[in-house]
Amino acid sequence: MAKILIIEDEKNLARFVELELQHENYEVVVENNGRTGLEDALKEDFSAILLDLMLPDLNGLEIARRIRQVKTTPIIMMTARDSVIDRVSGLDHGADDYIVKPFAIEELLARLRAVLRRVKIEKDAHRGSGANQQKILHFKDLTIETANRIVHRGDGKAIDLTKREYNLLTTLIANKNNVVSREQLLSKIWGPESNIETNVVEVYVRYLRNKIDLPGRPSYIKTVRGTGYMVRDEDDVQ
Ligand code: CA
């Protein structure tokens, strides 16, 4: 049975979601404050965590960040705000999806099923292929060790990428010399069922460029206007 942790300080909302999840046969643990929620999340293995963004003692972004340092438990952020920046910062701190309050319970249940399904697919894929198989990818002066997800430059300097930045880079390199559309990147990196807007991809490409590009040199990632992005062996202009 899937076990879900709800971290939410609005007690009525927490109780409502708890009852609905129990009705769907989930096992549920509720915490009404951030610190005990974080303790539970680190101590026990949950199938997924529903995490409120605005908590009085320890905010949701900080909780997500601390969980992510040690665990891959899927996190759905529940947020009362609705700006792209908040969504991006939530996702960048390690949340897998977000839902904007007030939400319909059916939508929450659908998101939850989607993250649980995604985790199962990833687990199955790892079992099938041998998760620790090392592959070395090269692109220009970048070297990528896939087993430990380390990216470094020819000079040996490691480049610290988040999981999504890493996935974005390796997806582009896997399709080297071909354009990858924003929709393909969204589907591949955020999952086919996420309903995140494509401008989030632009934000992440910007993060990635800031980390891998060299000052005064053309970007490693070409923008193909109106379509998407690509990496190429040769720059158009030398
Ligand atoms: Ca709250």
Cα of 117 vs centre of ligand 1, distance in Å, is: 27
Cα of 10 vs centre of ligand 1, distance in Å, is: 6
Cα of 155 vs centre of ligand 1, distance in Å, is: 46
Cα of 175 vs centre of ligand 1, distance in Å, is: 42
Cα of 64 vs centre of ligand 1, distance in Å, is: 15
Is residue 77 within 8 Å of residue 90, measured between CB atoms?
A: yes
List, for residues 201-232, the tens digit of each pLDDT value: 999 999 999 999 998 889 999 999 989 999 99
List, for residues 26-69, the tens digit of each pLDDT value: 999 999 999 999 999 999 999 999 999 989 999 899 999 999 88
Is residue 57 within 8 Å of residue 33, measured between CB atoms?
A: yes
Question: Which residues line ion ligand 1, judged by CB < 5 Å?
Answer: 9, 52, 54
pLDDT at position 198, please? 77
Cα of 35 vs centre of ligand 1, distance in Å, is: 13
Cα of 26 vs centre of ligand 1, distance in Å, is: 22
- Ramachandran category for residue 149: left, alpha or beta (phi over 0 → left; psi -120 to 50 → alpha): left
Cα of 114 vs centre of ligand 1, distance in Å, is: 24
Whether the predicted pLDDT of 148 surpasses 80: no
pLDDT at position 194, please? 73
